Structure 1
Amino acid sequence: MRNKKNVILTLLTATFISCFTYVISQTKQVIEPKTQDTLSAKPNIIPLPTDSVFTDKGLKLKPYKKNAHASYYADKFTGRKTADGSRFNNNSYTAAHKKLPFGTRVKVTNEANGKFVIVKITDRGPFVRTREIDLSKRAFMDITKNKGAGAMKVTIETIIE
């Protein structure tokens, strides 16, 4: 039992470190520290890339659909062209939707646990009648309650720029 806890703790620590390292490497937000010389100056803030937004503070959201069924892309689609012409990457924060315009950013919230991601629509689909949105595997795994699940109920809100 103790060995299982150690393995789980090690895996969680490794996952946290790799996610933190990725966020740091992708972050373009730089805030100068406040020293005596810069107390009166405003900090130099560069916005984060659109595919790595983790907060909804200050975003204007328009409800799109509640109780929507979400799934994720299979690994076999990695590297293939999406409907907007870009290459699909299962490690990015992207999604496929049947009707929303390409480039639309949406907040997808897991109704079971309240976790959310912000993704960009880059493809058409899913081509299953009961499903509303296909998330990249990374986006899906970030918000899912059960890592073994293939689908979940979500709330979709469009972000008004």
Structure 2
Amino acid sequence: MNHAFLPQVIRRSLPASVVALLVLAGCAGTPDKRRDRVTPAELMQVPDARPRIETLRSGGPNKPYAVLGRTYTPLTTDAEVRESGLASWYGGKFHGMPTASGERYDMYAMTAAHPTMPIPSYARVRNPANGREVIVRVNDRGPFSPGRIIDLSLAAAVRLGVSHAVSPVEVERLTHDEIRSGNWRR
């Protein structure tokens, strides 16, 4: 372990066991380095998010917000959302960072960011070019680039075959009735 980040005066004045504990504590909040070696073949095996009914609230990540001079008003009801547009994906730079839901972003999980779907939500994302579909859990806000409708995790982008570039997709939010009845399955 490298403890060079600790100031030299601290390293000299503390017993080695205390320095070791500080180093371990400092590593506790970093992303799992073993997972940084995940291969595309392994990402193809990541299962879809499993839809379940989760409470929608009007505050927190579902309150109106502004980004880059544009105001967004997230849905706070169990409404249908169907969109076609461009998908992008976000990865390493955000891996382990807090999402709008307060959860840590995991680029190896089946998650996504959407500007106005209620958080949390589940959505079916389809790549019309190859017919692949995935189910993701929407737990973050974004994307904020014109024309883009959803930001996918790396796992979702690889499974859809869109990790190489911004790509057209179709997005459908799964309602609580669809989840409750099982009608979201295809």
* TM-score category of the 2 structures, normalised to the smaller one: 0.5 to 0.7
Structure 1: runs of 5+ lacking an equivalent:
1-13, 24-49, 54-61
What is residue 159 of structure 1 aligned with on the other side?
174
Change in CA separation of 1:77 and 1:153 when aligned onto 2, cut-off 3 Å: same
What is the one-letter code of the residue matched to 1:103? P
1:15 pairs with 2:44: no
SS at match of 2:148: coil
> 4+ runs of 1 displaced by more than 2 Å?
none
Task: Specify the alignment match of 1:65 in structure 2.
Answer: 83
The alpha-carbon deviation at position 89 of structure 1 amounts to: 0.3
The residue type equivalent to 1:139 in the other structure is A
Largest Rg, 1 or 2 = 2
Q: Which residue of 2 aligns with 1:130?
A: 147
Deviations 1:60-117 (A, max 9, x none): xx56112x10000031100000011000000001000000011110000001011010
Which residue in the other structure is 2:104 paired with? 87
1:27-65 deviation per Cα after TM superposition (whole angstroms, max 9, x unaligned): xxxxxxxxxxxxxxxxxxxxxxx7257xxxxxxxx5611
Q: What is the rounded CA distance, in whole Å, between the counterparts of 1:79 and 1:86 in structure 2? A: 9
CA deviations 1:103-138 (Å, max 9, x no partner) are 110000001011010001111101212211000000
**Equivalent residue number for residue 110 of structure 1:** 127
For 2:41 and 2:150, locate their aligned partners in 1 and report how far apart those are by CA, in whole Å: 26
Distance in 2 between residues matched to 1:110 and 1:129, nearest whole Å: 19
Q: Report the Cα distance in structure 1 between the residues aligned to 2:81 and 2:141, rounded to whole angstroms.
A: 20
What is aligned with 2:94? Answer: 77
TM-score (norm. length: structure 2): 0.53
Structure 2 runs not aligned, ≥5 long: 1-39, 52-79, 177-186
CA contact (8 A) 1:109 1:143 kept: yes
Distance in 2, matches of 1:99 and 1:115, equals: 24
Identity %: 33
For residues 93 and 49 of structure 2, the distance between their equivalents in structure 1, rounded to whole angstroms, comes to 22
* Number of corresponding residues: 110
Q: CA RMSD in A?
A: 2.5
TM-score normalised according to structure 1 size: 0.61
